[in-house]
Chains A and B, each alone.
Chain A
């Protein structure tokens, strides 16, 4: 493969900064019963420090699987993921746990708040084990929920719950922020608030952010957009200019 001509590792990108993730030949095969499902079939990609990368692609193309492996939630069947100098693929269970604890923030499509904990406590769950977190209240203020701190998830709307989930993800000041369809269930104004929070954390802390979405409009806020198809990356497009989240509409 002619690496030099491949946009995926073009010198112009490298110029933006160091590589956070170097992904090579990443393959994931699910064995369920007699059928093997190949979710990833050799993904090649570099993700740069402090960039916002948007992942697009049809349902079932392997985006979530990819994100889970980046976040150390899952292991590939073959291939390699290099995070800075560390091979995620050879890390022990304990090392992966450390990696998640110290570096990664997650946002999920279905909020995944713990129902028996209040908004503030859901955030505290993460700040308690982080090394240099902000206070739960500050994190909630970033997403505009400072006055809903003591509400339980059941007392919050879907959008509010997702904002709590964002606050929870950014509260530890993560170096990597992984968001799986963070606005999937939200209307456009609420979605924008969520995206603004991601944008802000990226700007202020230089957090490398990967956002999965089905919403092409959101692609505009990324530095680059990678398209998944059938377990591979079909192409990577570099946006000439990032659009602020505030200007997005769908």
Chain B
């Protein structure tokens, strides 16, 4: 090995603590890139492979009833590759072990062979046999209930109870994510998908030779909007609700949303880490080059060229970067696999392909090299520029002046060590600024990540407590008249009940349109509160339509504008409605109307689809059990259950990821502060040792060094909080999707925790460096020439 390389290794060993801290920061950045991209790519590849192998459809439509020959007509539409007609219905289940009503989406299976589209991935058992009461249950429900093949299940088929045997457990590309209708969160125990032979559903729902649901796949190059337009035309007579593509298919939309958010994380977070790494490399390398002025001059006097000298110091940061990159890739691969595995709890795939695109490694390497280059550049340039002769002369003694604070009379109040601290800071303002900057970045990162906890709390609070006040939403099997409300309202324990009508519709304004369900609420409703963008409460107007802010933004409308409303069922009426108000909501695209106005619009007075009710806490359990026996009830979702499901999901996915980021934040804080302390120590070792010789105590000397650091870290805290506010804002807006808006709210406690973690990191590095000060070898320090 060449002598110069040996010097490099020894120099690295000498600053191993610092080098390690930098490598760790780089590793974090790289690990996040590799982890998130790994998860993203795997998720995408898995999804695509799944869709292809199990023939996920491209276009979907529901209708009231159409004869099977219509399905043949559908497959004639130009651009349609295949069409699969079937029967789907929501039905209540009777699950004795469950404390609340459960329901399922029933999906018919063809009498012969496999479905043409949306095939099942059998996980266990077999497909139902003809002529037997057998069904296949979706895996999420089976696992939640602990059911296996052979289990029995009672289903209320069109109000009549019928017992089935579970013969298979399966997954479907249509239901990677299953959400009960009208809910925000999955509830696997109480909602699932059941596949059963077509004949059973035909008979139960009186759909002999007919279907009420059709899916199509498109041939390559076909235009989806064009096919949808023709399909809608064809199915209009049969009560078809508007057809939609994959983008509006619920399960697919959720997977897409998750992919988008992964991408956001991969884009926003790693640059922060790499910036910190660049900054640390610069800090350490500049310092190294300052102390090596002489060696640099010496090398040049021997005839080493500028290029050779520059390369030598470049190698220094390259070795650190390479270590960080290797560790980061290893950690990232492992974490990516783990994260992808975690999606198994959340998204249901029959197989999970952990894939890694080599391009991601190149990108991670390139980004780290960029960071290293940024950090190294100025420092190495300084080494290169150093004229050999000047390098041979020791730098002129630092010029200290009476500081501003001195002139203000500080020297009379502050002790000698305190004055030394202040003068040192004033003498090296840039270095002090860099330390502040680094510590502030750590605080920033933590505030920017912890903010998510606040956001979730706010989400829960605004959705489940402020906006929705009902304890329970009871979905009805069909559009019973208002009578159903009386039945329920008269159950003991119900403190009040209101009917809700949900009508599928398409809202358009200009060129933009959106499918969604319009909720018709009773005028003066007590269960749903509306807040305008300024946070003021308002009541649902009797005329016009209220849009959620996300929907208004999507359609580009403001209060007072008119929107076109096409009802997608029944008489499929059209109307032009005035936007009477815009309601502030974080989640979902929603539209609200006064129930009477909605009845007038649909032409179906007194139709309702659900009932929302307030319950007596004391008898809630018993009441929910009673609801199970009412045939008209399809789904019951309680606020309590929804919130705990939400929290559980968050605990599973978010918390682990966020814990991981907290660790990273702490590493950054430690890296910055430890480096600053070590640099200070090596710079001022001589001075501090001299003070010890002069009779200062170890404590006083430690105070001089660490006091300065403490001062800088304290100064960094408010700056970091301000930057964290900015990062949180950036994250919130970057994470915003079509359906979901992250509320931007940061509680004071969040700032407190972020600052606390940084202070603990600072204390830890102070402890490490403090021990070094106490072991300062006075003679060795004084002997070396500075």
Contacts and interface: CB of A to CB of B under 8 A. Distances in A.
B306 A97 contact: yes
B302 A100 contact: yes
A117 B300 contact: no
Interface string A90-132: 0001100111111010101010101111000110111011000
A156 B785 CA distance: 14
Nearest to A99: B303
B6 to A, nearest CB: 6
Contact of A117 (B7, B301, B302, B388): B7
Interface stretch (A14-22, A66-74, A200-208, A221-229): A66-74
A97 B299 contact: no
Contacts of A125: 3-4, 7, 299, 302
Max chain B C-beta neighbours (<10 A), residue from A68, A93, A97, A126: A97
B761 to A, nearest CB: 30
B11 interface: yes
A86 to B, nearest CB: 15
B14 A73 contact: no
A110 B785 CA distance: 9
Contacts of A106: 301-302
Interface string B275-319: 000000000000000000011011111111110000000000000
B255 interface: no
A97 B303 contact: yes
Interface in B767-786: 780, 784-785
B10 A128 contact: no
B449 to A, nearest CB: 40
Interface in B348-403: 387-389, 392
B2 interface: yes
A151 to B, nearest CB: 14
B303 A74 contact: no
Contacts of B305: 94, 97
Contacts of B11: 116
A148 to B, nearest CB: 17
B389 A68 contact: yes
A117 to B, nearest CB: 5
A164 to B, nearest CB: 13
A73 B302 contact: no
Contacts of A126: 302
Nearest to A136: B3
Interface of A: 68, 71, 73-74, 93-94, 97-102, 104, 106, 108, 110, 112, 114-117, 121-122, 124-126, 128-129, 154
A68 B295 CA distance: 16
Nearest to A105: B302
Given A101-B302, A106-B302, A117-B10, 6 more contacts: A74-B389, A98-B303, A101-B304, A116-B10, A121-B7, A154-B784
Given A73-B389, A108-B392, A122 B303 contact: no
A128 B14 contact: no
A154 B304 CA distance: 24
B3 A100 contact: no
Nearest to B292: A114
A117 B3 contact: yes
Interface residues of B, number: 27
B304 A73 contact: no
**Closest 6 pairs (CB-CB, A-B):** A101-B303, A74-B389, A116-B10, A100-B303, A124-B3, A73-B389
A126 B308 CA distance: 13
Contacts of B780: 154
A183 B302 CA distance: 20
A60 to B, nearest CB: 13
Contacts of B7: 114, 116-117, 121, 125
Given A97-B306, A116-B7, A124-B3, A71 B387 contact: no
Contacts of B297: 73
A74 B387 contact: yes
A74 B392 CA distance: 11
B295 A97 contact: no
Contacts of A128: 2-4
Contacts of A122: 3
Contact of A114 (B295, B388, B389): B295
Nearest to A69: B389
B389 A104 contact: no
Nearest to A98: B303
Contact of A73 (B3, B300, B785): B300
Contact of A112 (B2, B10, B294): B294
A124 B6 CA distance: 11
Interface string B123-158: 000000000000000000000000000000000000
A97 B304 contact: yes
Contacts of B295: 112, 114
Nearest to B785: A110
Contacts of A71: 301
B302 A129 contact: yes
A97 B389 contact: no
B776 to A, nearest CB: 16
A110 B391 CA distance: 13
B10 to A, nearest CB: 4
Contact of B303 (A68, A102, A108, A110): A102
